[in-house]
Structure 1
Amino acid sequence: MYEQVSHSLLNAILDDLKPEIRRQNLRHFYTRLGANFYAIYSLFFTLYGHREDFKEQMLRLVETMAEGYINRSSELEGIDIQREQDHNWFLSQNWVGMALYTNGFAESLDDLADKTPYFQELGINMVHIMPILMCPAGKSDGGYAISNFRQIDDRIGDLKDLHRVAEEFRKRDILLVLDIVLNHTSDEHEWAQKAMSGDPRYQDYYFMFDNREVPDMFEQNMPEIFHESDPGNFTWNEETQKWVMTVFHNYQWDLNYSNPTVLIEMLDIILFWANQGVDVLRLDAVAFLWKKIGSASQNERNAHLILQLMKDCCQVTAPGVLFIAEAIVAPVEIIKYFGEDAIIAKECEIAYNATLMALLWDGIATKNTKLLYQGIKNLPDKLERATWLNYVRCHDDIGFGFDDNDVRASGYEPFAHRKFLVDYFSGQFNASPARGMVFMFNNETGDARICGSLASLAGLESALENDDQTLISASINKILLLHSIIMSFGGIPLLYSGDALGVTNDYSYQDNPSKSDDSRWINRPTIDWERAELRKKQGTVEYTLFNGLKKMIAIRKETSAFADFNNRELLDISNEHLICFVRFNPLRPADRVMVIANFDAKPQYLDLESLNGKGINFYNHVVDLYTGSSPTQHDRQIILQPYQFYWLTEI
């Protein structure tokens, strides 16, 4: 929209741009800047309009966007234009992702490029390469303590190697996903080092205080993230004789976004990686971007304004690039990271569906779907042009942060139920086959999280050790069941490296001094590629899992009802061990798929009378897309074997 004040400023800014910028061909840039400038100006003014240097900072913001556009290749600009013309491209059922650590999946980035055919073999076309930027050897937080935002860690390669990966991916229509850590830097980052040397400009990049007065005011409301290893939210720095805000680990210094220079620096970094061929940027720890005394300093309104501003600026320079919000927060909060617009995502197009992940594990432990149903019912509707990233496991721990009201509505007492889940997945519960580890147990609250690979949590590790074929089969079926939900729920399914091969816990981290105090490394395995060849040998666990998931992915891509256009209807049924929902194609309502899954270790029955008029007409010929056969029926009931699922459609 046209607005006199903002566009008068824009005209002044364009007159003041560096001559080397003005000489460039910026036609598309100026078109997008004009369309987005009022929003950009309004957001920047809301955040920083009180500052005397506002106009100077606004000029630098526009120059940063222009420089990013100038440095964008013609190939990437062509992709931008193509995606602008098909703006819902990422909502297609065609996308299936995988997350991995470079040095866990391969030996290096160059080796990762050579292993690209593996993704094609399985059907993966979106690959999240976990943090690859320079970080300290011993204080890395799994790669999330960045010491140089523009340099790849030389232990896995360099920028030329990443360009080769991006090129190999583009040849095969595979999206490249990389992390940008927005909230903090390593204390070894150049900015932190200059702050330690006493430079006031860089001390203003962080939260630094001479005494405990202000830190104590913050601490009154801020929770502790790693209360066992790094209690509190501030660390005393000997060099500066100051307290530094360190919400995560004591070597990760929180950035001060009340300083506009910090925002512009981080936007410049976002655009730099967009110009290296990255399709999707995973923005880490976005819930923590704005700190405010008297609050938890999470999910603050200004954190959302920062993300909206970054998205608007990125759309001017690189509109084909998507944002993922890494915000593991309550459903009522996570939905806000899509943005406030009723339709268009104005912050991040994609967000992690951590709630669904935790609910699925609850179903495995309890063998029923009461809480799963309750949680899905209360999952807020997403925006039309936004989507979930649905996953069963990731590199991190599992937290059971369900809404207490949902837990009570399911017939459980919240504290006791969470304790049961922790005991179950850590193998302390009698007859549990799970082999997980407790993470960050809090003596005061009793809260804890769980670490462990998908296969080990599903019982495959213990079943293999006991050479129990019945339990091995049950574990495989659990793994396939869980993936059948994330493939069909609505959103982009994200597999984790090794899960398609049944890779179990990696206990070797305990012998590594830099990792031994962080049990999350147990579920960050190194792929044994000789063993991975077993995926081609019938009768092996690897073959069964890999080919089961490969088949599932192929069917998903062919099923238009699995595209994500808010086209899911959860069905209430009488059997608490089953979950049932319908997916439909909004453009062709007759194209419908009914998903039914049995979370119990025993056969279960679904009364067809309860489904009368709900989605699928069982008087017609109904077939399961996964097996190609009709479901077993008896006396107007569908029979599901233990951990069986159906994707049913009429033919």
Structure 2
Amino acid sequence: MTELYRKLEAHLNLLYPEQDGAALAQRLVETMRIVPGGPEPVPYSNHWDQADAYVISYGDSLLSEDRLPLENLHHFLSHYLADSLSGVHILPFFPYSSDDGFSVIDYYQVNQSLGDWPQIREIAAQFDLMADVVINHCSARSGWFDNYRQRKDPGQGFFFEGDPGDDLSQVVRPRTSVLLQPVQTLDGERHVWCTFSPDQVDLDFTNPEVLVEFVSIIRYYLSQGIRVFRFDAVAFVWKIPGTPCINLPQTHCLVQLLRLLVEHQRSDAIIITETNIPNRENLAYFGNGNEAHAIYNFSLPPLLLNTLVTGDCSHLRTWLMTLPPARNGTAYFNFIASHDGIGLRPAEGILSEAEIDRLITTMEGFGGRISWRDRPNGQRSAYEINISLYDALAGTLAGPDSHQQARFLCAHAIMLGMEGIPAIYIHSLLATQNDQERVANTNHNRAINRHKWDYPRLQALLADGSSHHAQVFQAMKQLLAIRRCQPAFHPNATQFTLQLGDALLAFWRQSPDRSQSIFAIHNVTDKPQSLSLTSLNLIELDRWTDLLGGQCFLDLRQTLELAPYQSLWLSNAPVMVDDTATPTV
């Protein structure tokens, strides 16, 4: 405990130099209910292995008349995915006023339309549950904000105020709305900082009372069985006018402090930072192995999408080559679709503006929408593409074609083979298409990929082998079943990128104990491609098997022909899944 107090005080003295660091550290420890003699976190420990994979879902993605939405979600997870996935990220399930949950009214309550804490605890008892800590802002309709305007506690010092006369020219914005919003309080008009929207008012972490409150929130979530915490929009959490107000040193310090508290309360708890920013800035949230346990791999979605619609993997390959291995105790959180759009900022410096414009045009041709942001120079630029991933992969630059399903499965085979922990959006598992009606009803671009399924209808479609939903779902489950058995797919297993030309994306994985090697090779084009096995330098004394097709290769001098978007996972020590319906991906 002495070492914990020393580290906490060091962080607190940096964040709050005018406060009594020792007294504040004691208060935080008591709030988190850390007891002397409790289990100490083991440095550089991996709280995951190759069997770990997550599904991302809203609490109300599956609706029916006879069950609460959270009960439907639990039923779906336990009856369809218990042998495929280890965890679930339920997107904000709290009472909210906008942004489909990310404008939180009350952090301690479950939205009654979804269920209540007993339903959350039941899911957490069976799956590793990830919950959002919406840490940068809360709803303008929250009790905290009402108290702020009335100058009452808790809340009167909780929100970040700005001065219209401040130099805000450097502030990095993800939106086009006005940053400072005028608000009437008992003390007159004030201007509150709203990074994302007028309904999402930024919290003021320069006030230590806000920190104490969020430690209390996290402690409460731990008591409900939640083990994994996604820090939403955390890059924006500390503001200093005259700076970009993103990724400031105090932000990194705050994440480090919260990690200390969380892992001393539960040693296997995991913090994941959600930072939709350029790649180098994103990597900084690993810290020195003392910050985020995992970071969202935000560059992967736009680069993989670009690869598959252009048939050229050169940018993705180069990025993979420069991606530093995550040290033990840290991991990449890999995803290629989510409730948000496909972010374009993480592709900055990798794709040229012309390539981004070409990608945007192609996605608009597949029914996609574009969300914009204001830049410090006053110009507007594309922030993200809003589209369902299944429709995003409907074709190539030339337009839609007949390879949509194969291309879609190839994308997931690539992601599932990569270093890191994979996460699959529920609408990717179900091959859900663009919901244009929902966009029209909400006037919100992101609604295009936030469809709400009638659960009985979905179950009927999944039972119908002729539907593309059933076909994709079964193929995705098979990919997951194969992956989870292979030690070479441990999130921290060695990865080397191979040079097989621009049409074949390939990388080599080796298990931490070196007992298994897997060569993951993917045809990213709509044309057959040849692969000479001699180019892989396979060890002839080993028996090499394609985990996806089941074929054993005895002649290592032969040349294979990969069909459009076909993937191979060549393993020298395969753990095969007993399933005669193994699809060729």
TM-score normalised by length of structure 1? 0.81
- Which of 506, 521, 538 in structure 2 is aligned with 1:596? 521
- One-letter code aligned to 1:510: V
Determine the C-alpha separation between the residues in 2 that align with 1:401 and 1:127. Answer: 26
Equivalent residues in 2 for 1:330-369, closer than 5 Å: 330-340=278-288, 345-369=289-313
Structure 1 residue 35: Cα displacement: 4.0
Structure 1 residue 313: Cα displacement: 1.1
Asked if structure 2 preserves the Cα contact closer than 8 Å seen for 1:225 and 1:247, the reply is: yes
CA deviations on 1:235-285 (whole Å, 9 max, x unpaired) are 111344111111111111111111111111111111110111001111111
Structure 1 residue 611: Cα displacement: 2.9
Whether 1:454 aligns to 2:389 is yes
Residue of structure 2 equivalent to 1:26: none
Residue of structure 2 equivalent to 1:29: none
Residue of structure 1 equivalent to 2:506: 580
Assess, with a 3 A threshold, how the Cα gap between structure 1 residues 333 and 581 changes in structure 2: closer, same or farther. same
Asked if structure 2 preserves the Cα contact closer than 8 Å seen for 1:633 and 1:639, the reply is: no
- Which of 166, 191, 194 in structure 1 is aligned with 2:144? 191
Whether 1:558 aligns to 2:496 is no
Whether 1:510 aligns to 2:454 is no
Determine the C-alpha separation between the residues in 1 that align with 2:154 and 2:381. Answer: 43
Query: What SS does the aligned partner of 1:406 have?
Result: coil
- Which of 379, 387, 404 in structure 2 is aligned with 1:475? 404
- One-letter code aligned to 2:531: L
- Which of 158, 180, 186 in structure 2 is aligned with 1:234? 180
Asked if structure 1 preserves the Cα contact closer than 8 Å seen for 2:327 and 2:492, the reply is: no
* Greater alpha carbon shift after TM alignment, 354-363 vs 528-537: 528-537
CA deviations on 1:402-434 (whole Å, 9 max, x unpaired) are 565534xxxxxx12111001001111xxxxxx3
Determine the C-alpha separation between the residues in 1 that align with 2:363 and 2:341. Answer: 12
- One-letter code aligned to 2:526: A
Greater helix share, structure number: 1
Structure 1 residue 126: Cα displacement: 0.5
- One-letter code aligned to 1:524: R
Whether 1:568 aligns to 2:495 is yes
Residue of structure 1 equivalent to 2:57: 100
Residue of structure 2 equivalent to 1:500: 429
Equivalent residues in 2 for 1:379-398, closer than 5 Å: 379-398=323-342
Query: What SS does the aligned partner of 1:642 have?
Result: coil
- One-letter code aligned to 1:398: I
Asked if structure 2 preserves the Cα contact closer than 8 Å seen for 1:422 and 1:448, the reply is: no
Asked if structure 2 preserves the Cα contact closer than 8 Å seen for 1:102 and 1:129, the reply is: yes
Residue of structure 2 equivalent to 1:42: 10
Query: What SS does the aligned partner of 1:533 have?
Result: helix
Determine the C-alpha separation between the residues in 2 that align with 1:278 and 1:285. Answer: 19
Residue of structure 1 equivalent to 2:109: 151
Residue of structure 2 equivalent to 1:265: 213
- One-letter code aligned to 1:224: R
- Which of 158, 165, 175 in structure 1 is aligned with 2:123? 165
Query: What SS does the aligned partner of 1:426 have?
Result: helix
Assess, with a 3 A threshold, how the Cα gap between structure 1 residues 608 and 145 changes in structure 2: closer, same or farther. same
Asked if structure 2 preserves the Cα contact closer than 8 Å seen for 1:607 and 1:637, the reply is: yes
Determine the C-alpha separation between the residues in 1 that align with 2:119 and 2:312. Answer: 47
CA deviations on 1:558-586 (whole Å, 9 max, x unpaired) are 1000002251011122x211111100013
Query: What SS does the aligned partner of 2:55 have?
Result: strand
Determine the C-alpha separation between the residues in 2 that align with 1:110 and 1:416. Answer: 46
Whether 1:181 aligns to 2:119 is no
Residue of structure 1 equivalent to 2:364: 426
Asked if structure 1 preserves the Cα contact closer than 8 Å seen for 2:370 and 2:384, the reply is: yes
Structure 1 residue 400: Cα displacement: 2.4
Residue of structure 2 equivalent to 1:11: none
Asked if structure 1 preserves the Cα contact closer than 8 Å seen for 2:274 and 2:295, the reply is: yes
Whether 1:622 aligns to 2:544 is yes
Determine the C-alpha separation between the residues in 2 that align with 1:550 and 1:435. Answer: 27
Structure 1 residue 156: Cα displacement: 1.2
Assess, with a 3 A threshold, how the Cα gap between structure 1 residues 162 and 649 changes in structure 2: closer, same or farther. closer
Query: What SS does the aligned partner of 2:132 have?
Result: strand
CA deviations on 1:487-546 (whole Å, 9 max, x unpaired) are 11011111111322211111232343xx22x11011011124323333333343233212
Determine the C-alpha separation between the residues in 2 that align with 1:111 and 1:160. Answer: 14
CA deviations on 1:563-619 (whole Å, 9 max, x unpaired) are 02251011122x2111111000131x241000000110001123444333xxx3368
Asked if structure 2 preserves the Cα contact closer than 8 Å seen for 1:631 and 1:638, the reply is: no
Asked if structure 2 preserves the Cα contact closer than 8 Å seen for 1:91 and 1:491, the reply is: no
Determine the C-alpha separation between the residues in 2 that align with 1:304 and 1:85. Answer: 21
Asked if structure 1 preserves the Cα contact closer than 8 Å seen for 2:275 and 2:296, the reply is: yes
Determine the C-alpha separation between the residues in 2 that align with 1:624 and 1:527. Answer: 36
Structure 1 residue 319: Cα displacement: 2.2
Determine the C-alpha separation between the residues in 2 that align with 1:234 and 1:632. Answer: 67
- One-letter code aligned to 2:222: A
Question: Sequence identity, in percent?
Answer: 24
Assess, with a 3 A threshold, how the Cα gap between structure 1 residues 577 and 321 changes in structure 2: closer, same or farther. same
Number of residue equivalences: 562
Asked if structure 2 preserves the Cα contact closer than 8 Å seen for 1:369 and 1:578, the reply is: yes
Structure 1 residue 146: Cα displacement: 0.8
Equivalent residues in 2 for 1:7-406, closer than 5 Å: 33-51=1-19, 53-66=20-33, 88-106=45-63, 107-120=68-81, 123-136=84-97, 140-167=98-125, 169=126, 174-199=127-152, 202-209=155-162, 211-214=163-166, 217=167, 219-227=168-176, 230=177, 232-239=178-185, 240-340=188-288, 345-402=289-346, 405-406=349-350
Assess, with a 3 A threshold, how the Cα gap between structure 1 residues 631 and 424 changes in structure 2: closer, same or farther. farther
Whether 1:524 aligns to 2:492 is no
Query: What SS does the aligned partner of 1:115 have?
Result: helix
Determine the C-alpha separation between the residues in 2 that align with 1:586 and 1:44. Answer: 37
Determine the C-alpha separation between the residues in 2 that align with 1:423 and 1:556. Answer: 35
Asked if structure 2 preserves the Cα contact closer than 8 Å seen for 1:623 and 1:649, the reply is: yes
Determine the C-alpha separation between the residues in 2 that align with 1:122 and 1:643. Answer: 26
Residue of structure 2 equivalent to 1:610: 535
Assess, with a 3 A threshold, how the Cα gap between structure 1 residues 619 and 424 changes in structure 2: closer, same or farther. farther
Residue of structure 2 equivalent to 1:548: 475
Determine the C-alpha separation between the residues in 2 that align with 1:88 and 1:557. Answer: 19
- One-letter code aligned to 1:549: M
Assess, with a 3 A threshold, how the Cα gap between structure 1 residues 528 and 87 changes in structure 2: closer, same or farther. farther
CA deviations on 1:344-400 (whole Å, 9 max, x unpaired) are x31221111111122110101211101111121222332321111111210001122
- One-letter code aligned to 1:63: E
CA deviations on 1:61-108 (whole Å, 9 max, x unpaired) are 232122x769xxxxxx9xx96x96897453300101100011113442
Structure 1 residue 164: Cα displacement: 2.9
Asked if structure 2 preserves the Cα contact closer than 8 Å seen for 1:331 and 1:380, the reply is: no
Structure 1 residue 43: Cα displacement: 0.9
Assess, with a 3 A threshold, how the Cα gap between structure 1 residues 122 and 458 changes in structure 2: closer, same or farther. farther
- Which of 551, 555, 568 in structure 2 is aligned with 1:646? 568
> What CA RMSD, in Å, does the superposition of the two structures yield over aligned residues?
2.8
Query: What SS does the aligned partner of 2:338 have?
Result: coil
Asked if structure 2 preserves the Cα contact closer than 8 Å seen for 1:498 and 1:527, the reply is: no
TM-score normalised by length of structure 2? 0.89
Larger-Rg structure: 1
Residue of structure 2 equivalent to 1:12: none
Assess, with a 3 A threshold, how the Cα gap between structure 1 residues 364 and 258 changes in structure 2: closer, same or farther. same
Asked if structure 2 preserves the Cα contact closer than 8 Å seen for 1:179 and 1:282, the reply is: yes
* Greater alpha carbon shift after TM alignment, 595-604 vs 234-243: 234-243
* Greater alpha carbon shift after TM alignment, 601-610 vs 266-275: 601-610
Assess, with a 3 A threshold, how the Cα gap between structure 1 residues 436 and 481 changes in structure 2: closer, same or farther. same
Query: What SS does the aligned partner of 1:595 have?
Result: strand
